[in-house]
Amino acid sequence: MIGPAGTLTMEMDMFNSNKDAHIPVMLNEVLTYLALKSGGVYVDGTLGMGGHSEAILERIGSSGRLIALDRDAQSMALAKERLDCYKQHSTFVHDNFKNIETILKDIGVNYVDGILLDLGISSFQLDNPQRGFSFREDGPLDMRMDQESHVSAFDLVNSLSEKELSSILKDYGEERWHHRIARSLVTQRVLEPIRTTQELERIVVKSMPYGRKRTRIHPATRTFQAFRIAVNRELDSLEDGIKKCANCLKMNGRLVIISFHSLEDRIVKKTFKEWVKSGAFKELTKKPISPTEAETKNNPRARSARLRAVEKIL
């Protein structure tokens, strides 16, 4: 839900005041591998702030159609404002891309020419302290992409057992010190609930051996990744969703996926390899494509992005 009257206006002001931060990742590569054609029908399964969608709409022309999906109602509302001039040939659906088959059926679309999935967190989400995705500024321990979801990071951090917390940190964050961090979280929440992003960050940092506090990435990065993935069930949605995407492609339709950490990329790589081996798909990227040096300099958030693409041939 967008919330009280005026909230959308405030969020739009935030977006407009910091447009430079909203840079679509690997845009040129996305457009190349989607092989867009005038009049085609495409799905942006992770609309975000609409940067990729805007470029797709510019190229497919007024006879084309874009179906844009996103779990985040706030991001979608802002993207719809951005893409208002294309509304005659755009359809926006607040939903998870894992439901793509049902979504397309409901709007009368059988198959599409291409699908894009950008699995990153948008700058709008990261830069808004109230969403709780980042420890750079203090905010509630939330991390829900879909604000209508019932389970937040606060719920997981303050209710799961030490063993369950440790498993999340190990499996979703690949965090070496998962046992120590989980023990510290349980010890701290006995005194009082862990409510904010910076409270969680401080506990994680204190749990680390001294030498681990001086690493290239912030020591709490993996913990925040782990809880975000767990809250939103991202890996489950990805594994299920990309298989359903395959069913929705026309012959010679293309699926392009940008992932941002090894767990996502592993799932994409494994699934694509299985499809290629079956003879149903052609691999367009033998190895994942990385952003150019110029792009990472201009947009540091792109540095961990990896793009893979396949084409349906059977």
Nearest to 265 by CA among 239, 246, 243, 241: 239
> Residue 190 pLDDT > 60, yes or no?
yes
> Residue 21 pLDDT > 70, yes or no?
no
Is 133 domain-assigned?
no
Q: d(Cα 301, Cα 165) in Å, to the nearest integer?
A: 27
Same domain? 15 vs 117: yes
Report field, pTM of the whole predicted structure over 0.95: no
Tokens 């992005």 belong to: 305
**Residue range 285-294, pLDDT digits in tens:** 999 999 999 9
Is 183 domain-assigned?
yes
What residue ranges in the chain does DSSP mark as E strands? 41-44, 65-70, 90-94, 112-118, 249-259, 281-283, 306-312
Is 240 domain-assigned?
yes
Is 221 domain-assigned?
yes
Count of the separate structural domains present in the chain: 2
Q: What is the CATH number of the domain that holds 248?
A: 3.40.50.150
Nearest to 267 by CA among 302, 308, 230: 308
Boundary (domain end) residue, out of 232, 266, 286: 232
Amino acid at 167: S
What is the per-residue pLDDT for 215? 66
Domain of 221, in residue numbers? 148-232
> Residue 65 pLDDT > 60, yes or no?
yes
